Amino acid sequence: MPYITQLIQKGTTHSFIAKATAPTVTMPRIKALMTGTIPGFIDIVMNLNSHELQEDNLLWQAKQSRKRIFFYGDDTWIKLFPKHFVEYDGTTSFFVSDFTEVDNNVTRHLDYVLKRNDWDMLVLHYLGLDHIGHLTGPHSHLIGPKLYEMDIVLKKIHSALLLKDEDSAPNLIVVCGDHGMSEVGSHGGSSDEEVQTPLVLISSAFQNKAGPFTVPEMIQQTDLAPTLALGLGLPISRSSLGKFITAVVEQKTMREQLRFFHLNGHQLCMLLKENLETYEKDDGLEQFKKAEKQHGNWIKLYLEGNTSEVLTNLGRKVLKQYLEALIKLSSSLSKQVAEYDIYSMTVGAIITLEIFFLLLLSVPNALSNKAEFDLPLATPLFSLFFYLTCLLLAAVHVIVCTSTENACFFCSMSWLLAMGIMVLISALLCIILSLLGKMVLQLKPSNEVTHSSMQTWSELDILLLVGTLGHVISMGASSFIEEEHQTWYFLVSTLCLALSQEMCRKYFLIKKGNLSGSAAFSEAEEEYAYVNEIYDAHKKELQEEKLPILSRFIKSNEKWIALSSPGLILICCRLLRPLNQTGVQWIHRPDFGHWLTSSEHKAELSFLVAVCLIMIFILIQGKCSLVSKVALMFGLLGIYCYRAAIGHVLYPWQQNTNEITKGITEARFVYIFVLGILVTGIKDLLTSHFLNTNSKAKAVGLWEIYSGLILLAALLFRPHNLVVLVFCLIIQLILTTFIWKILKFDAAEIAIMHYWFGQAFFFFQGNSNTISTVDISAGFVGLDNYVEYPAIFLTIFVTYSGPLLWTMHMLYYLSAETNWNSTAVAHGCYCYAIIRSLPVTVYILLVTALRYHLFIWSVFSPKLLYEVIHHVISAIVCALFIAVDKNQLTKSEG
Amino acid sequence: MDETEIRRLAVGHVLSILAVVFSLFVPPLLLDEFSILGTHLTWLCFCSVCVIAVNILLLVTFKPNPSTKRSSLSSKVNKLYRSCLYFFASCLLFHGIIVLYGAPLVESVGETFLFAVLLSSFTTSRSLCFLGPNFHAWVRVFSKDGAMSVWDHSLQITTICTVVGAWLGAFPIPLDWDRPWQVWPISCSLGASFGYIASLLLAPFWIYWNRKRLTYKRR
């Protein structure tokens, strides 16, 4: 950007690095710039759906003093400030793949506007750079030209304003960014690259201080609002936390400078008074009072006409005191503003805790052979205790809601709903108590039984338990949350090693059994027979598919294949690791995914995508019906065409196609097949339910639903992530054919293993616990422009596809492939529910306890958001489980 | 269980601990600028050598599993050769597993391999000295309830503790605390050493505590 560099060197500018706070997404950042406040985290959810800003802000103040404001650019501004602009033209920011049109839309107004004289403020929000970042990352070849284009725009504005300056007060150009860009080109998190934004103030009013380039001063993004307000002669907006930038007023007279400080300090003191009960004891306030008194002395001296050195020295002293006071006030305010709605938080935490305990207490019942999960509803509901707790909670509710002045979400709900929640809490409490009572009564005689059952746990069970608990405990530390993927990779590797150990034991103990005693011998023989049986069955299956060579190979080398299978899984996991660097600390390391997506390696990427699609077809098709096989083939072909159309990959037959379309037709083509496969799957499920046919149809139906989801994921994933999908299928194949069948795990263990692998795949596909890794571009596949619900659905699907695919696979495996008992699905579902609710419950409690933690907004809240959405998804999947299970139960009864 | 055997075991364990301690305190006398964190690789080499030497010493003096038949020189050489082979194979195996766990493949290959050597000297060299290069004996000892003597038990305990210590040592590596011991493979090797020493200290007590149950199991 030659022009602006030249300006900065020439010296009529001030440049700073403005530090934004997390979440670094557009809407909260605009709020911060205009109001000087730090918006809460919930704004990230509202980011896609902004409403009018109600708080006092700079634009409102400007409008009140009859300034005329023009706006061109991102339409988030228009949603936030719908009535503030005299003239405006918004461009929608949601279609990320367009980066020329959005900026031309802004620039085309410039020539006309700059000639006119009827505006006081002009706000321009260019979107192109952000879009390029989202699409291709910060090292894209598109960045340079875009920055140059911006430079030309700036030159145009600056020269036009210089002409105007001659006959009016000097103008000010503020060049700033709302947020930065991470190494992968997105934003939302709190890494340095995302948080630090440039801020350049250009005005002919500034002193010319040409000189060598110095490192810009670090300021807060919120500091801009009071600075602009003071510069424009407007009142500082009420809830602003910023302290104005002192460098800007350096060459003003001492009196004016002190006046500015006083105004800013006074506003901060008023704000502090509103927010802090013990505001009188605050350090900053005291210092401000002192400085105010000194200021009075200074004014007295000044008015007496004293111009000696004493005056300037005193002035400097006052200035320094004011500055210190401002810094202290500002920092103590930004600590204070985090207000928590403790009452609502407690209610939520109590409900989750109660439900978790309920699940925990019914473990013995639910995991027994009957797999029943019935709650003693009737007795607790009619007990006196229930009504008493209801009354007590209602009383507490009334007292709390009438006593607090702060806004409280729970109090603002309609009283009927609140009452319902009260009843729910007390009912849950009573149920838990009655269950506990029953347990205590039953436990007394059977104390020794539980002790001996602990002994029968294998190392694998202990590992699963310890790993899950350890992960839950590790969530109390922010660095463990940032690097959660490492925990999961580590646990999954350990799981593989434990599996291989079990495998070794199985095979080598059989050998030993042959050598030694009689009891062990017969047992080993039995197991051997069982293994053989499985392989015979397997062989038969394979022979049906006319693959005799392969089956003979498997049959003859079964032992070694089985022994090496955990190692194979380990190798798969290790290969997936460098595909997407994730987390916080090492996200900048070069990874394989970036290498593939960079524009020089298009040919390699095309080859990889083609191979992956073929692999997916080979791995899925075996268990599908003919119709869905054909649909699958066309769907995968369509995916390749889609990728070629949007320019990710090349067609082998036409090498240089430069036209890039949005690929809408191709994507919709694939959607049709996805829907088709899903519908056939559901149809198969329903027929197997109503017509009571054999379980084969059901298995096919479930597998078809699963493959439909895989097809959808293959369409939406970033192109290099297809590898993740292929490895996911391969690992599932290995686990089902070689490990789970041979080692005879029960449903609970299988459910936990599925959960672990699902979590690991969540991170393998490039996700992390910061918002910036969410791939929003998936929400626009096959859509002309932003449509809210499909976009949200697609984004969520693609983000959670790892865990979702694994749970779907668990559903299929437990209900179709296993033939030991009918309660497998129920057990699996129950285990899944409890293993999901454990981290969520603990995490909610942890976050409540750590709510004044330094990283609460940057680390803990995004994780909470992820957990909540994951929880909703698991609830939906559990509902599906129950539906399938009901299906099975009615069939077995009928 | 024989209490003299346990006492002998305790003495052997103390010697093994002394080997690790020796590797901590002697090199500074010989080399300039030696510190565990600074010149970690030297320490790794030194520690492995010390531990292996003490294990061989134990083999010669205590004879934990005395062989029944007298062996000729050629069979002894053969055994030695096979032991070396086994040791090397176990180093490679550990190296492979560590890489699969996420250690960098190309960069810091030396660190990874030396860590694998340390792990093998803590576990494999001990097993080689106590059991000899006899695969069936290994399978017997490391399968559930396969231990036949106090030495077997101590072998089980030390091996498991060393591996678990190394496993636990890997947790702090990805965190952003910026401590010098978070560098690969320092925390892991320290974890393994702590696990090894702790197990050496605890094993005699554990065996003594459970001596009734253990004798019962043997019959």
How many domains is chain B built from?
Answer: 1
Shared-domain flag, residues A292 and A304 = yes
Enter the tokens of residue A411.
């109090």
Cβ-based neighbour number of residue B92 at 10 Å: 13
Residue B219 maps to a domain: no
Mean pLDDT for chain A overall: 79
As a whole number, mean pLDDT of residues A92-98 equals 61
Find the length of chain A. Answer: 894
pLDDT for A805 equals: 93
Shared-domain flag, residues A62 and A209 = yes
Quick: pLDDT tens for A609-651.
Answer: 899 999 999 888 877 788 888 888 999 998 888 888 877 777 7
Which helix or strand (DSSP H or E) is residue A491 part of? Answer: helix A484-515
A493 near B CB under 8 A: yes
Q: What percent of chain A has pLDDT over 90?
A: 8
Residue (of A689, A701, A714, A715) closest to A624 by Cα position: A701
* Cβ <8 Å between B170 and A490: yes
pLDDT for A452 equals: 46
Residue B102 maps to a domain: yes
Distance from CA of A697 to the nearest CA of B (A): 40
Dist CA A240 CA A57 (whole Å): 8
> How many pairs of residues across A and B have Cβ atoms under 8 Å apart?
45
Cα dihedral B63, B64, B69, B73 sign: negative
Shared-domain flag, residues A723 and A739 = yes
Residue B216 maps to a domain: no
CA distances (Å), A813 to each of A308, A416, A639, B197, in order?
A: 90, 44, 27, 45
pLDDT for A502 equals: 84
As a whole number, mean pLDDT of residues A411-438 equals 83
Report how far Cα A82 is from the mean position of its chain's Cα atoms: 29
Provide the pairing of β-strand A13-19 with A87-91. unpaired
Distance from CA of B170 to the nearest CA of A (A): 9
Shared-domain flag, residues A294 and A235 = no
Residue (of A853, A837, A762) closest to A479 by Cα position: A853
Backbone angles phi, psi at A100, to 5 degrees: -110, -45
Dist CA A19 CA A219 (whole Å): 6
More confident residue, A513 or A764: A764
Which chain B positions have a beta carbon within 8 Å of A494's beta carbon?
A: 167
Shared-domain flag, residues A428 and A488 = no
Residue (of A323, A251, A248) closest to A284 by Cα position: A323
Q: Which residue among A479, A490, A508 sits closest to B175, beta carbon to beta carbon?
A: A479
On the 0-12 / 13-18 / 19+ scale of CB atoms within 10 A, A309 is exposed
Shared-domain flag, residues A572 and A651 = yes
How many domains is chain A built from?
Answer: 4
Distance from CA of B185 to the nearest CA of A (A): 15
Residue A517 maps to a domain: no
Residue B93 maps to a domain: yes
Dist CA B78 CA B56 (whole Å): 16
pLDDT for A119 equals: 84
pLDDT for A513 equals: 44
More confident residue, A143 or A521: A143
As a whole number, mean pLDDT of residues A569-597 equals 81
Residue (of B89, B154, B81, B156) closest to B117 by Cα position: B89
More confident residue, B128 or A375: B128
Coil/strand/helix, residue A252: coil
Quick: pLDDT tens for A372-403.
Answer: 666 666 676 667 888 888 888 888 888 887 77
Domain containing B93 equals: 3-64+73-209
Shared-domain flag, residues A221 and A251 = no
b/e map A436-473, b = 16+ CB within 10 Å: eeeeeeeeeeeeeeeeeeeeeebebbebbeebbeebbe
Residue B40 maps to a domain: yes
Give the CA count within 13 Å in the CB-facing half-sphere of A865: 24
Shared-domain flag, residues A293 and A431 = no
Enter the tokens of residue B128.
């080689």
ipTM of the complex: 0.87
With CA atoms as reference, the chain B residue closest to A582 would be B174
Domain containing A227 equals: 2-239
Q: What percent of chain A has pLDDT over 70?
A: 82
Provide the pairing of β-strand A196-203 with A172-176. antiparallel
Res. A811: pLDDT tops 60: yes
Enter the tokens of residue A717.
């994933």
| Cβ-proximal residues to A239 (8 Å cutoff; 6+ apart), any chain | A35, A36, A37, A55, A56, A271
On whether the CB atoms of residues B56 and B129 are closer than 8 A, the answer is yes
B175 near A CB under 8 A: yes
Quick: pLDDT tens for A15-69.
Answer: 888 888 767 777 778 888 888 777 665 555 555 455 566 777 888 888 888 888 8
Residue A534 maps to a domain: no
Shared-domain flag, residues A233 and A307 = no
Residue B215 maps to a domain: no
Quick: pLDDT tens for B151-204.
Answer: 888 888 889 899 999 988 888 887 777 778 888 888 898 999 999 999 999 988
Residue B92 maps to a domain: yes
* Cβ <8 Å between B99 and A509: no
Shared-domain flag, residues A141 and A193 = yes
Quick: pLDDT tens for B38-77.
Answer: 788 888 888 888 888 888 888 888 765 655 555 678 888 8
CA distances (Å), A621 to each of A265, A632, A704, A729, A812, in order?
A: 70, 8, 9, 12, 15
Identify the weakest region by mean pLDDT among A373-377, A668-672, A679-683: A373-377
Shared-domain flag, residues A656 and A755 = yes
Q: How confident is the model at residue A449 (pLDDT cuts 50, 70, 90)?
A: very low
